[in-house]
Structure 1
Amino acid sequence: MGHGLRVSPPPARTHYRLRMAAAELIRIVSRSSPMALAQVERVRTELAARHPGITTEVVPVTTSGDRWMGDLSELGGKGAFTKEVDAVLLAGDADLAVHCMKDIPADRPLPAGTVFAAHLARDDIRDALIHPGGLTLDELPEGTRIGTSSVRRTAQLAITHPHLRCVPMRGNANRRMEKMEQGEADALILAVSGMQRINEADRISDILPLDTMCPPIGAGVLGLQCREDDTATIEAVTPLNDPDTWRETTAERMLLHVLQGHCNSPIAGYAKAERDGRLSLRARVFSPDGKTVLDAHEWAGPLDPATLGTSVAVALLRQGARDVIDSIPH
């Protein structure tokens, strides 16, 4: 590859027994938003079920990405949501970091000395419409203002619903809903999994099919990051790994890595592990206005997940994905 992306082998499907030297306390660092803290609670619950003797505590961090309400590219892209968390982990002030995999940049390697020890079972990968009047996406009248700063969502709405108008809006899901209530937008598009995590799923007025709104790479996946020399913590969290989610995430992130997508790249895609072991990957690259759409879909067959991700990325590059991605300022 030449870009330094390390693909770890899938964690072994064995039952670990903590060594005598294993820590009794695991400090979990995370973003401080309500959704991020809800994600940490899921991890704490799953750890407690596996290891009743382990105590966990939360180390909340407000990242530059959380504070900044402008264009993420001005902060260096998606890394704005992770670099402060990484710093706390690497400094030894926490033992475990919980990340939404969709926020982890794939155009650069993980911070040296860290590794993802587990990926939790995947949540819903679809997007949802939040409309106070309960309308579906197809029922929205012309000129309806959709609050979103996602180039992925904006490009796809331009294709399927060009009569709608996207207005820039950032912030966590709770803050975006407050802004909508204050009149800054008429509706929102947010992740189904995020709404479920903050117990606001009853506000969803329409769940969008994947053909209408293809999800971001890593949608619905929580990754557990550790220092690679912290064997005690790695052994504690590895049993939480879901093998199918690991395969799907590996394929998706290799796709994004080969494409060298940045935070302003309208790249979407998802892998799907079937019960019979087959793995598929669909990916799309858009121009921001939705006028250019590149599409690729392959089944792994005997290919490993990383090779599948590479193969689909190459198919998109053959269609001109490099020119589309490089033409977008970032």
Structure 2
Amino acid sequence: MKKDTIIIGTRSSKLALWQAEYVKGRLEEKYPELTVELKLMTTKGDKILDAPLAKIGGKGLFTKELETDMLAGGIDLAVHSLKDMPTEVPEGLVISAITKRFDPGDAVVSPKYQKFADLPPGAKVGTSSLRRKAQLLQVRPDLNICDLRGNVNTRLQKLEDENFDAIILAVAGLKRLGFGERITDVLPKSTVLPAVGQGALAIETRADDEEIRALIDFLNDEETVQCATAERAFLGRVEGGCQVPVGVYATPAGAGQLQVEAVIASLDGSRLYRDKISGQAADAEKLGRKLADILLGKGGIEIMHELGLLLNRK
């Protein structure tokens, strides 16, 4: 091993720092002689907090600045929430490891009601995700769903300050930051499918940095990689980002099989197309693309066109 110091690039939010510290700790445990440093950075998504994500550009908002610095040699790797990563990685970079997936669920946090089902008609619910909004409105069109931006701590504070009846956050983020006890309910997958890669961390490196890629290979979880491959293939096929109400969730089905379930919904939840398929885990990418074509054929393509997206139907 040639390098004695490596630099991890990370956003400066508490959750991003937890994720980077987790990877740092795993590296230091595996390689005691290695010095691992963190370089904190601010992305466009961190700076613009007064507009919905869908209106300011989608997923690359939380990765571009880190990727630019990595290509320039300023950092050796970047740690991201996999769900924040665009399906296409910039030329010269690669996702070299995906960690074992933590809980991928969506949590309900409410100071007033124990269960999502207990929310009264017209309840004020906060979320920044069109995916969550569309699926929730499909089962509860009466809800008043309001945009909620900011990091986990900020959103929890807004829950109290802005008189929300409930807010929806990722289970993984809450538990990682020690807020697990704030979770009052977890939305069943039958109601809301998670975002692509939700609960997993992605470690991005330069494609030609074989030394760094070899160093972090032990963090790669093959089962999670297969699931994420199917999910990202689905998303890539429908050209979806933060601005598209799309949920997809792949799970191992035993004997080398993979089950993939997905949903495409209209913004108001009035139309929702959902299906699932199973196949060989080795064909994860094909499974994701096939399921995308099924849902697009059922009516999803009309929704995507209405959202003004150009579909790549190669």
Q: What TM-score do the two structures reach when normalised by structure 1? A: 0.90
Asked if 2 retains the 8 angstrom alpha-carbon contact of 1:264 and 1:329, the reply is no
Report the CA distance shift for 1:292/1:134 in structure 2 as closer, same or farther (over 3 A): closer
Aligned-partner Cα distance in 2 for 1:326–1:218: 25
1:174 paired with 2:153, answer yes
Shift of 1:72: 2.1
Asked if 1 retains the 8 angstrom alpha-carbon contact of 2:24 and 2:36, the reply is yes
Shift of 1:88: 1.5
Pick aligned residue for 2:78 from 91, 94, 97: 97
Aligned-partner Cα distance in 2 for 1:327–1:304: 31
Structure-2 residue corresponding to 1:283: 262
Shift of 1:241: 0.3
Structure-1 residue corresponding to 2:35: 55
1:77 paired with 2:37, answer no
Structure-1 residue corresponding to 2:170: 191
Give SS of 2:214's match.
helix
Asked if 1 retains the 8 angstrom alpha-carbon contact of 2:230 and 2:286, the reply is yes
Give SS of 1:323's match.
helix
Asked if 2 retains the 8 angstrom alpha-carbon contact of 1:98 and 1:223, the reply is yes
Pick aligned residue for 1:236 from 186, 206, 215: 215
Shift of 1:275: 4.2
Q: Which runs of 5+ in 1 are unaligned?
A: 1-18
1:139 paired with 2:118, answer yes
Give SS of 1:132's match.
coil
Aligned-partner Cα distance in 2 for 1:329–1:53: 52
Shift of 1:212: 1.3
Aligned alpha-carbon RMSD (Å): 1.5
Aligned-partner Cα distance in 1 for 2:300–2:122: 31
Give SS of 2:241's match.
coil
- Deviates most, 55-64 or 301-310: 301-310
| Runs of 4 or more consecutive aligned structure 1 residues displaced over 3 Å after TM superposition | none
Structure-1 residue corresponding to 2:48: 68
Asked if 1 retains the 8 angstrom alpha-carbon contact of 2:9 and 2:38, the reply is yes
Number of positions where the alignment pairs a residue of Structure 1 with one of Structure 2: 308
Shift of 1:286: 0.3
1:24 paired with 2:7, answer no
- Share of identical aligned residues, percent? 38
Aligned-partner Cα distance in 2 for 1:30–1:184: 32
Q: Deviations over 1:112-134 (max 9, x none)?
A: 11111110000101101001135
Give SS of 2:128's match.
coil
Structure-2 residue corresponding to 1:317: 296
- Deviates most, 303-312 or 68-77: 68-77
- Deviates most, 221-230 or 47-56: 47-56
Structure-1 residue corresponding to 2:192: 213
Aligned-partner Cα distance in 1 for 2:166–2:139: 16
Asked if 1 retains the 8 angstrom alpha-carbon contact of 2:112 and 2:165, the reply is no
- Deviates most, 125-134 or 233-242: 125-134
Asked if 1 retains the 8 angstrom alpha-carbon contact of 2:139 and 2:191, the reply is yes
Give SS of 1:162's match.
coil
Structure-1 residue corresponding to 2:14: 34
Aligned-partner Cα distance in 2 for 1:136–1:127: 13
Q: Which runs of 5+ in 2 are unaligned?
A: 310-314
Asked if 1 retains the 8 angstrom alpha-carbon contact of 2:251 and 2:258, the reply is yes
Aligned-partner Cα distance in 2 for 1:90–1:269: 30
Q: What TM-score do the two structures reach when normalised by structure 2? A: 0.94
Structure-2 residue corresponding to 1:10: none
